Amino acid sequence: MNYKTIRLRRGKEESLKRFHPWVFSGAIETMEDGIEEGDIVRVVSSTGEPLGTGHFQIGSIAVRMLDGSDTAIDEDFYRLRLEKAWKLRESLGLTADPEAAFRLVHGEGDFLPGLIVDIYGSTAVMQAHSPGMHFARNTIASALTTLDGGRVRNVYYKSETTLPYKASLDPQNQYIIGGFETDIAIENGLKFRVDWLKGQKTGFFVDQRDNRSLLERYSRGKKVLNMFCYTGGFSVYAMRGEAERVVSVDSSEKAISLTEANIALNFPEDKRHTAVAEDAFKYLSAMQPGEFDLIVLDPPAFAKHRGAIKNALRGYQRLNAKAIEKIAPGGVLFTFSCSQAISREQFRLAVFSASAQTGRKVRILHQLTQPADHPVNIYHPEGEYLKGLILYIE
């Protein structure tokens, strides 16, 4: 293809040959004149051997590879990748319900670096994390509407906070195809109101689906505290799992009203649920020991980058120590970290320190991760971010 060329320094082709999808800026020897941010580029080794095609951007990650060959990056390219992504979700059983919520594209995990697409029934919410994907947004949106006989009728583009600020792309959050139809989507037979216009991320955390199902199985007869509840996902499952009582806590008033709406949607007039707008640390400090026997801790990413790791680990330790200290004997704690910068081992060590601090006997029952519609490309381990433990506390 006629794309401009980026030549790598000697030896720097190795990681691409092992299928890692990023070229770091330090690996570049020369760039052809006129390459601009967001352009599709050809990448070659120091000897001129073709290594593939990708999106160029300014920053530490300079190229996100789209393909290992000199292929054209056009509507057919995106359509084929999206069809593959759809097929995987189909084989996971996620597409069977036309109103289902699931992730269709998980960036590098679906060989589309810089792109996230979540499906909520007939609406796709699309997020670009790279200028290249921003420029391709209309092509991708139109390819989305060809999937599964035209099931996606609306595409909402939401990249105001995900694109590099310095690129000055000024993306507008808006429908680029269709418009508003309904904001109700189904997960495992439960209804959720998804606010992609004002909510966090694409409006709903589809990544906790499997872990919520697991919580449902632990809920019968339990007093459940869902901390950092956001849209109340875990709470709705606990209600269906016949919990005796469910309390949802989030510091955001907006999250509390979303949670209340979702409980009412599935369990109208059910008095077992209460929602509280309060800071998590304050709530945990003030609650009575033994008040809850099933607690969920699903905080926002404490470490958004590597520099913040130390403080984040302290945060996880402090939070978990409070919950472990107060949970009823024989209690079960679901505890998570969605910080990509923190490894599974580091998180487990923070929870270990928290346990040791309380002196209680703690056992690990399950080790949790992200669901199969958030696949991790084995050559790109950075794609793994969600970590969780289910603990049994004597």
**CB proximity list for 202: less than 8 A, separation 6 or greater:** 116, 118, 125, 127, 158, 196
Tokens coding 296: 């969920």
Q: Near ligand SAH by CB under 6 A, which window of 18-26, 129-137, 244-252, 315-323?
A: 244-252
> Three-state SS for 303?
coil
CB neighbour list of residue 386: distance below 8 Å, 6 or more residues apart: 207, 208, 336, 337, 338, 368, 369, 370, 374
Nearer to ligand SAH, 8 or 243 (CB): 243
Q: How far is CA 264 from the centre of its chain?
A: 26
> From the CB of 148, what's the least distance to ligand SAH, in Å?
26
Binding residue for ligand SAH, selected from 15, 46, 252, 353, defined by CB under 6 A: 252
Question: By CB under 6 A, which span of 64-72, 215-223, 246-254, 364-372 interacts with ligand SAH?
Answer: 246-254
Q: Kindly state whether residue 334 participates in binding ligand SAH, applying the rule CB under 6 A.
A: no
Burial of 319 (0-12, 13-18, 19+ CB in 10 A): buried
Q: Of residues 163, 236, 255, 342, which one binds ligand SAH by CB under 6 A?
A: 255
Contact 219, 294 (CB under 8 A): yes
Among 102, 120, 192, 228, interactor with ligand SAH by CB under 6 A: 228
294 close to 255: Cβ distance less than 8 angstroms: no
The CA-CA-CA angle for residues 302, 117, 260, to 5°, reads 60
**Coil, helix or strand for 249?**
strand
Q: How far apart are CA 236 and CA 191, in angstroms?
A: 9
Q: Which amino acid is at 358?
A: T
Give me the catalytic one of 155, 338, 362, 372: 338
Q: Tell me if 202 contacts ligand SAH by CB under 6 A.
A: no
Say whether residue 231 binds ligand SAH (CB under 6 A): yes
Q: Total residues contacting ligand SAH (rule CB under 6 A)?
A: 17
Residue 213 interacts with ligand SAH (CB under 6 A): yes or no: no
Q: Which is nearer to ligand SAH, 57 or 231 (CB)?
A: 231
> How many residues can be counted in the chain?
394
Rounded Cα distance, 374 and 372, in Å: 5
Residue 287 near ligand SAH by CB under 6 A: no
Among 136, 298, 334, 339, binds ligand SAH (CB under 6 A): 298
338 is catalytic: yes
Position 302 contacts ligand SAH (CB under 6 A): no
Taking contact as CB under 6 A, which single stretch among the options 47-55, 100-108, 138-146, 249-257 is the one that binds ligand SAH? 249-257
Residues contributing to the site for ligand SAH (CB under 6 A): 205, 208, 228-231, 233-234, 250-252, 255, 279-280, 298-300
Q: Which residues carry out catalysis?
A: 338
